[in-house]
Structure 1
């Protein structure tokens, strides 16, 4: 699939709203929209045990360079906690906003990501995936996802964009820090409701995290521990989200698509077994997730063949590939988007 193409006008003009209704009826009849509270209880229990084990290991190992391994484990655990926060933000766990928000705020405070800020941003992405003017996930200063975006870059961002395919994975090292800082910036700008609660949820866990690192470890080891933890968490998060839309068609300004076409045509699934589901937090079933954001994570795998068959019967392109090929497509797309800047240099 061409990396910087837009959706053909003929496809964009199709408005088969009843198709989505028929698909929804089929999935609902199979029970795939029902909540899976038992699954989430088990998943959160496993995460809690893992986090407790890492905390015990951190204290037991003490001031040692072996803590680098603890930092790696914490990066994995933190990302798995972020996946639960993501699911809570989509109301996949409970039906009530309140219960999901309690889980989401708790997990946001543990990962350092402002839940309230992230949900607002992520909902904008879901409403307009790969729309240059409306999707915040493709409005990144250091990256361009189309040649038109690349032409707007200036200064150091222009140099980064020119070489973005080579710099993409190194840049992900900063992703966790960027997410944390973005929430703090939103708090300082008074963009969040209940600012005192948000300040407590973001600043108190941060203070405890820094205190633990610098009390148990020497200053140099503490800094290395934090860098490894935050850096690898950023790479893990970025590698979980990047294959989902990057390199898929861009919705041109003025194009109007129905929900079914908008979500399917701009999303990509990553194939693999249950280990891929666990590794990527279910986000590998991105098409199904975007069609039904409130569908519980364990139901996405069962919904996938139903949705793919439905798309085949209705002539809707359905994109899926392996994990390795998905990253290759992302890098080809980024390289292509930066081509005008390389020619101009």
Structure 2
């Protein structure tokens, strides 16, 4: 069953991805075991305490909320203890960064720029990665590397503080990071059977504390400019197919360029569930029904239940056309 997330697959030739990313974006990311460990490291570098609050959007995964709680207290409503705001660009669609930045400035909030679902989306011609006080990425959401994330900050004080700690931590955690990836590969292969849930909980429990980047994860990442460009083109093509067929059911993208992780198509929730099951049974593809903020503004969201189509290289463009044909047959 093909899902929204790519499974581990060796494809590259070495550990050149972060250099490739720097050449493409001009930004030098610090490698981490996952996006959540990068997130925790960034929040701690800011000097935040667990009694401080970070504003978060609804529908964040339990593993993200658990990771955040290592450094701060996640909250959905502002209070006198609010010190930061997590801005999650869901499925790679940029949030309304002008409105959120203005709010954060007025409230003196640090901006955690969560780019777990995109590396190359832009808003008003500017890379989304450069926004906020610090940016985290989650490579395993986009590529078949299993694990792997990173952190960048344009603030020199944050970046150098994290970099110094990261060097020391990584040296002592490389074996743990490699073991984490091996465990994940086994989980995805189904070898744990009824014990799978416990293995997942155990893995996700300690990953936010692991700074080191798993060595084997490098081999699941693009290793050339051509591979990187091909992935971007593939995601753009899927977005073009879906947005042309359902222009009134996908997010509006004025003044933004989207290189998506996934694409939401909203509709009647009950019909969407029927369609999702039909696609699963006929095409062996997991097109789930999830909530997406069509306002793209966590301060004033418009969540609608939507079918979500994946965009990684396991989603063949021909299959996406078949998915859209099934959807067309049920949504007028």
| TM-score using structure 2 length | 0.26
Structure showing the higher strand proportion among its residues? 2
Which has the greater radius of gyration?
Answer: 1
Structure showing the higher helix proportion among its residues? 1
| TM-score using structure 1 length | 0.26
Greater RCO, CA 8 A, separation 6+: 1
